[in-house]
């Protein structure tokens, strides 16, 4: 006797929304513990081929292979941090010149405000003094929160390599645990999910690293041509911030403009900096990402932006970086579990095909209409018994022969 109880659509939808709310609340409350683990899992999936290479090709013990892989990862991250610190140290040596340029721009802004809004220098100075006083009053709280954030970041820097090492070391244990949670008839589906998650994450992260190198190089070259003094440093920072989807490139452009203002009194260079960032972003979106960041999972822009905003609200920069991989993993899972398949379809990028008009690519809405017509025909065939019988007959007849 089948005792399974089926809920109506509105009840299922309410349960799904409740589950999403509980998951987001759990992430918000426990993000200081959960997000370092999720970040470590992402890097562990990336380092898995290195461990496999060391154990199979070089015949190293599993523990030694994991240790070498984590060490190489730390060496790569440490090299980037050392390079940026070295460049910032060189920038700090020119502090007197930077201070002079900032004061020059400050006086230029004062003159423009006086001419435009008829506010005297004394009144402007009063506004600045008042804002400075309010900032100093809240400085204690800001210093406390900054110190707390720095302590958390330092703590995570120590914990993340340990998490990566343990995840790689106990990889088989975790996989067996998942297999014990799933019934025997669904073991193949579990293996399919794990394999697709691994391929999607590895291709995504490797593509991001290659994109980081290309964007950093192009931005550095462009800023050198424009005549920016700290072109290499700003190029590397742009490449790093570009790893944060949608928002990172805006922050990088703002920092580039700010650094240019502090290193030069020529305002016209700012236009060159903006043009370089716009050109690199156009190349990144239209050439680099489609060719290099070849993720096996397609997620639409609306879900991506929403995920980045939610991730940033929950855990700041780490949440923004993890947003797209987490959504990709969820889409892989949703697409392979029948009750959750509509949600996977909602997260997907089912855009109509494009057609070329000269050098432009425009969406072909006829392709979308064809899909709609096919859907209508399938729906009509489901509602017409004569068509169903005809299709069954066509399928069954060859089998009898």
What pTM, to 2 d.p., does this model score?
A: 0.66
Given a cut of 50, whether residue 397 has pLDDT beyond it is no
Distance separating alpha carbons of residues 390 and 343, to the nearest angstrom:
34
Q: At what angle do helices 187-226 and 301-336 cross, to 10 degrees?
A: 160
Higher pLDDT, residue 92 or 206: 206
Q: What percent of the chain has pLDDT over 70?
A: 72
Burial class (CB in 10 A: 0-12, 13-18, 19+), 18: exposed
* pLDDT at residue 384 tops 70: no
Torsion 237-243-249-254 (CA) sign: negative
DSSP 8-state assignment for residue 361 = E
Please name the residue that has the structure tokens 């703590």: 155
Q: Report the candidate in 92, 40, 86, 83 with the shortest Cα–Cα distance to residue 216.
A: 83
Alpha helices by DSSP H, listed for 94-186, are 95-117, 121-137, 139-169, 171-181
Model confidence at 163, pLDDT cuts 50, 70, 90, reads very high
204-242 pLDDT per residue, tens:
888 888 888 888 999 999 988 888 877 888 888 888 888
d(CA 186, CA 216): 45
Secondary structure letter of residue 4 according to DSSP: P
Most confident of 132-141, 150-159, 323-332: 323-332
- Sorting pLDDT into bands at 50, 70 and 90, what band is 94? low
What is the rounded CA–CA span in Å between residue 318 and residue 77? 15
How far apart are the C-alpha atoms of 363 and 354, rounded to whole Å?
Answer: 4
pLDDT at residue 366 tops 60: no
pLDDT at residue 194 in the model: 87
Query: 3-class SS at 355?
Result: strand
pLDDT at 168: 92
Exposure string of 228-247, with b = 16+ CB inside 10 Å and e = fewer, is: bbbbbbbbbbbbbbbbbbee
Closest CA to 251 of 262, 261, 240, 260: 240
| pLDDT, tens digit (0-9, with 9 covering 90-100), for 182-195 | 888 888 888 888 88
Q: What is the pLDDT of residue 347?
A: 84
pLDDT tens readout for residues 21-76: 888 888 888 888 888 888 899 889 889 989 999 999 888 999 999 999 999 999 98
pLDDT tens digit string along 256-299? Answer: 877 777 766 667 777 888 888 888 888 887 777 766 665 556 77
Average pLDDT, the chain: 75
**pLDDT (tens digit per residue) in 137-159:** 554 454 444 445 545 666 677 88
Task: Tell me how far apart the alpha carbons of residues 129 and 135 are, in angstroms, rounded to a whole number.
Answer: 10
């Amino acid at each position: 006797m089948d005792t399974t109880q089926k809920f109506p659509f509105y009840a299922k939808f309410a349960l799904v929304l409740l589950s999403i709310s509980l998951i987001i609340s759990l992430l918000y409350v426990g993000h200081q513990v959960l997000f370092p683990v999720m970040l470590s899992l992402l890097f562990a999936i990336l380092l898995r081929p290195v461990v496999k290479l060391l154990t199979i090709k070089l015949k190293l013990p599993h523990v030694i292979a994991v240790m070498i892989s984590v060490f190489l990862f730390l060496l790569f991250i440490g090299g980037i941090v050392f390079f940026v610190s070295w460049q910032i140290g060189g920038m700090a040596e020119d502090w007197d010149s930077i201070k002079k340029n900032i004061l020059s721009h400050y006086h230029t802004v004062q003159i423009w405000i006086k001419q435009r809004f008829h506010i005297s220098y004394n009144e402007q100075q009063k506004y600045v003094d008042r804002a400075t006083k309010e900032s100093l009053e809240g400085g204690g709280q800001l210093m406390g929160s900054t110190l707390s954030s720095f302590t958390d970041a330092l703590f995570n820097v120590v914990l993340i390599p340990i998490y990566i090492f343990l995840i790689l070391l106990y990889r088989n244990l975790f996989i067996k645990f998942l297999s014990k949670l799933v019934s025997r008839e669904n073991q193949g589906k579990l293996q399919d999910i794990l394999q697709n998650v691994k391929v999607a994450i590895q291709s995504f992260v490797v593509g991001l690293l290659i994109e980081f190198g290309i964007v950093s190089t192009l931005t550095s070259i462009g800023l050198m041509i424009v005549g920016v003094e700290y072109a290499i440093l700003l190029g590397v920072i742009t490449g790093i911030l570009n790893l944060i989807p949608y928002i990172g490139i805006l922050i990088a452009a703002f920092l580039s403009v700010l650094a240019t203002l502090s290193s030069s009194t020529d305002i016209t260079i700012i236009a060159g900096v903006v043009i370089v960032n716009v050109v690199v972003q156009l190349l990144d979106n239209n050439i680099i990402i489609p060719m290099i960041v070849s993720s096996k999972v397609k997620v639409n822009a609306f879900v991506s932006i929403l995920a980045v905003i939610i991730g940033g609200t929950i855990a700041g920069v780490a949440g923004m970086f993890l947003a797209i991989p987490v959504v990709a993993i969820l889409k892989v899972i949703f697409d392979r579990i029948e009750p959750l398949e509509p949600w996977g379809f909602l997260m997907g990028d089912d855009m109509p095909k494009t057609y070329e008009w000269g050098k432009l690519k425009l969406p072909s809405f006829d392709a979308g209409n064809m899909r709609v017509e096919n859907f209508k025909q399938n729906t009509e065939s489901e509602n017409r018994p004569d068509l169903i019988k005809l299709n069954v007959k066509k399928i069954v007849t060859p089998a009898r022969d």
